[in-house]
């Protein structure tokens, strides 16, 4: 099967490509380097030439922070919306959209609201559209994993508040396996939360990352959310993940029932070691 994979150069896209190619798919990887820049692909017709000979589409383009020319509404809503509609015109039935856990119309951040807007377009089309909503995705090449590992390796682990925010990290291999299964499963449109088997606190997550590197658990340094929010107005320019919106999303927590993913995979998702 010939699959168009957008976001092919990203953390998720690279792993999805590897898994799909391992299963015999022909993957046509798209990114700005291959001339597919979402900012200029807002009309259905912009996608037509790129869909010739394509049998399924996986959309893994996303940004966690906006910049002057990279806007949530363009990248998460308008361009993928045009892509999904173009799939209908091109007779492509199966589309997998990588969204995000917590995406909803009333979500507290523009990131999650724009993800929801894109998801809604897919859900409304006559396609076998899969909306996969991952929580925090971790894996050796993940940018957030690297940042959290650095924090976890400090003598005192800095926490947002008391570090009691609930998260449910999911391994990149489980997300990529889910994408492949979706491409192989005839289905009505479905939305599946992609979460690990157990929820944990942010503090427990950092301690686990620390232990994974052969260190003992250590003391923590709770930092008031109000301080971090003030600091993040400058820090966001150094580390995009350190953006006020991302602190708010962490504070809100991100957990879900792992049963639907387990049913899709035919096994429980991986435990965090």
Cβ at position 156, least distance to ligand NAP in Å:
25
Sheet holding 56-59, edge to edge: 26-30, 2-6, 56-59, 94-98, 128-134, 190-194
Nearer to ligand NAP, 108 or 222 (CB): 108
221: which 2 tokens?
């340094």
Nearer to ligand NAP, 75 or 159 (CB): 75
Q: Which of residues 232-251 bind ligand NAP (CB under 6 A)?
A: none
- In 3D space, the residue among 25, 29, 39 whose CA is nearest the CA of residue 4 turns out to be 29
Nearer to ligand NAP, 146 or 230 (CB): 146
Cβ at position 159, least distance to ligand NAP in Å:
19
Cβ at position 190, least distance to ligand NAP in Å:
17
Size of the site for ligand NAP (CB under 6 A): 26
Q: Which of residues 79-98 bind ligand NAP (CB under 6 A)?
A: 98
Of the ranges 8-16, 180-188, 195-203, 229-237, which one interacts with ligand NAP (CB under 6 A)?
8-16
Nearer to ligand NAP, 33 or 263 (CB): 33
118 interacts with ligand NAP by CB under 6 A: no
Of the ranges 31-39, 81-89, 122-130, 224-232, which one interacts with ligand NAP (CB under 6 A)?
31-39
Q: Which of residues 125-154 bind ligand NAP (CB under 6 A)?
A: 134, 136-137, 144
Q: Within 13 Å, how many C-alpha atoms sit on residue 20's CB side?
A: 29
Of the ranges 49-57, 59-67, 82-90, 195-203, which one interacts with ligand NAP (CB under 6 A)?
59-67
Residues listed for the chain: 273
12 interacts with ligand NAP by CB under 6 A: yes
- In 3D space, the residue among 146, 148, 120, 150 whose CA is nearest the CA of residue 133 turns out to be 120
13 interacts with ligand NAP by CB under 6 A: yes
43 interacts with ligand NAP by CB under 6 A: no
Binding residues for ligand NAP, rule: CB under 6 A, are: 7-13, 31-33, 36-39, 60-63, 70, 75, 98, 100, 134, 136-137, 144
């Amino acid at each position: 099967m010939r699959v168009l994979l957008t976001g092919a150069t990203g953390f998720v896209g690279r792993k999805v490509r590897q898994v799909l190619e391992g299963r015999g798919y022909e993957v046509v990887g798209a990114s700005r380097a291959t001339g597919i820049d979402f900012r200029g692909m807002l009309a259905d017709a912009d996608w037509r030439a790129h869909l010739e000979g394509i049998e399924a589409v996986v959309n893994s383009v996303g940004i966690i922070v906006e910049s002057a020319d990279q806007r949530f509404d363009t990248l998460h809503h308008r361009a993928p919306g045009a892509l999904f509609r173009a799939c209908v015109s091109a007779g492509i039935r199966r589309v997998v959209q990588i969204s995000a856990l917590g995406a909803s119309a009333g979500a507290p951040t523009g990131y999650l609201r724009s993800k929801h807007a894109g998801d809604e377009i897919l859900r409304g089309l006559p396609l076998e559209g899969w909306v996969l909503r991952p929580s925090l995705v971790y894996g050796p090449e993940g940018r957030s994993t690297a940042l959290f590992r650095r924090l976890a390796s400090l003598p005192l682990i800095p926490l947002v508040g008391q570090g009691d925010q609930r998260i449910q990290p999911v391994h990149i291999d489980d997300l990529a396996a889910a994408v492949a299964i979706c491409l192989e499963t005839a289905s009505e449109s479905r939305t599946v939360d992609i979460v690990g088997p157990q929820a944990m606190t942010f503090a427990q997550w950092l301690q686990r990352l620390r232990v994974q590197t052969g260190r003992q658990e250590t003391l923590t340094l709770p930092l008031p959310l109000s301080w971090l929010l003030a600091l993040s107005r400058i820090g966001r320019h150094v580390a995009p993940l350190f953006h006020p919106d991302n602190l708010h999303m962490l504070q809100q927590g991100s957990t879900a029932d792992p049963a639907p993913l387990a049913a899709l995979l035919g096994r429980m998702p991986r435990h965090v070691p």
